[in-house]
Amino acid sequence: MWMAKSSSEYDENLTELRELYIDNVDFSGLRTKWCETLSFLPNLQVLDLSRSLLSGPINHHLANLRSLSVIRLRDNHAVSCQVPEFVANLLNLTTLDLSQCDLHGKIPKKGSLPHFPKNSSLRNLNLKNTSFSGTLPDSIGNLENLASVDVSSCNFTRLIPTSMANLTQLFHLDFSSNHFSGRIPTLRLYMSRNLNYLNLSSNDLTGGISSIFFEFRNLETLDLSSNKFSRLRLALSKPRVIPNLTNLDLSNNQIFGEVPNWIWEVNSGQFYTLNLSHNLLESLQEPYSIPGIGLLDLHSHQHVTKYFLRGLLQQ
């Protein structure tokens, strides 16, 4: 079994180790000894202990690894703790993957996520399928280098922080399967023009679906399903196109009234999946023009489907 050693027992060359990959190894029963052992590798930059049956909390010994740029501890379900404050002080950290661990606690009262400082190098934050609850801290907006954020299947509540507007490098954003509520913060939220994937599904978001989404020219997937959105904006003065969009899911909301024509015009003609099922839609605006749609789901809208088929027959 892998046991902690003193620094004198380590080969000098091992202390110069830069990258350590020991994923899929059975370290069960070591509790915090794995943290203590790693603390004698001061130059370590990449640490991957995914799926290694780690147990016990992440303790203070890892704070000695000031050069860490990548931490991957995913799929260690027995790692049950709050995220220690020192993680936020690892200024070289670019990737933090704690998904599928039993991390827990409320934010910010119990400090499960630390206060994120400015000038951090963090680019990838993955907390998927952890047990975090409470509100997402405003300090997430300090992480201006973030390209990917996944906090899906947690228990976050209340509003999405307006500070997200600072994250101009975002490429991938997944807030699905939480309990975020209220309206999506107005027009200047998610300012990144690089955004490729946006998933806000399975929350408690309300209000109308804003035209802000048409600003994201590189967006391929937009999933707003299973919320409480009530309306689509009926008209845009100059309908914008999202040329790369391949998946638009607005299903399982409370959207009522007519389906505006711009909903068919957000894609420039390539394969386009559109799901409007399980809403309160009444009819379609004329004329019926749907270039590029490869899959259209109007399930649960029998009267809308009749309008749609009648329109197609008239073309």
Q: State the maximum Cα–Cα separation within the chain, in Å, rounded to a whole number.
A: 84
170 belongs to a structural domain: yes
Residue 298 and residue 275: Cα distance in Å, rounded? 7
40 belongs to a structural domain: no
- Neighbouring C-beta atoms of residue 23, cutoff 10 Å: 14
Per-residue tokens: 28: 């069960």
How many alpha carbons fall within 13 Å on the CB side of residue 296? 13
16 belongs to a structural domain: no
Q: Is the pLDDT of residue 26 over 50?
A: yes
Helix (H/G/I), strand (E/B), else coil: 115: coil
pLDDT band with cut points at 50, 70 and 90 for residue 303: low
Q: Is the pLDDT of residue 107 over 50?
A: no
Helix (H/G/I), strand (E/B), else coil: 117: coil
Mean pLDDT of all residues in 110-136: 79
Residue 299 and residue 227: Cα distance in Å, rounded? 17
Q: Is the pLDDT of residue 199 over 80?
A: yes
34 belongs to a structural domain: no
pLDDT of residue 254: 92
pLDDT of residue 106: 43
30 belongs to a structural domain: no
222 belongs to a structural domain: yes
Could you tell me the residue range of the domain that residue 255 belongs to?
53-314
Q: How many domains does the chain have?
A: 1
With CA atoms as reference, report the closest residue to 198 among 139, 265, 271, 249. 249
20 belongs to a structural domain: no
Bigger pLDDT: 165 vs 233 = 165
Q: What percent of the chain has pLDDT over 90?
A: 18
Helix (H/G/I), strand (E/B), else coil: 46: strand
**pTM of the prediction?**
0.78
Q: Is the pLDDT of residue 51 over 50?
A: yes
Q: Is the pLDDT of residue 269 over 80?
A: no
Q: What is the mean pLDDT of the chain?
A: 77
Kindly report, residue by residue over 225-253, the tens digit of the pLDDT. Answer: 999 998 876 544 455 667 788 898 999 99
pLDDT band with cut points at 50, 70 and 90 for residue 304: low
Q: Look up the CATH number of the domain holding residue 244.
A: 3.80.10.10
Bigger pLDDT: 11 vs 278 = 278
Kindly report, residue by residue over 128-160, the tens digit of the pLDDT. Answer: 888 778 888 888 989 989 999 999 998 899 899
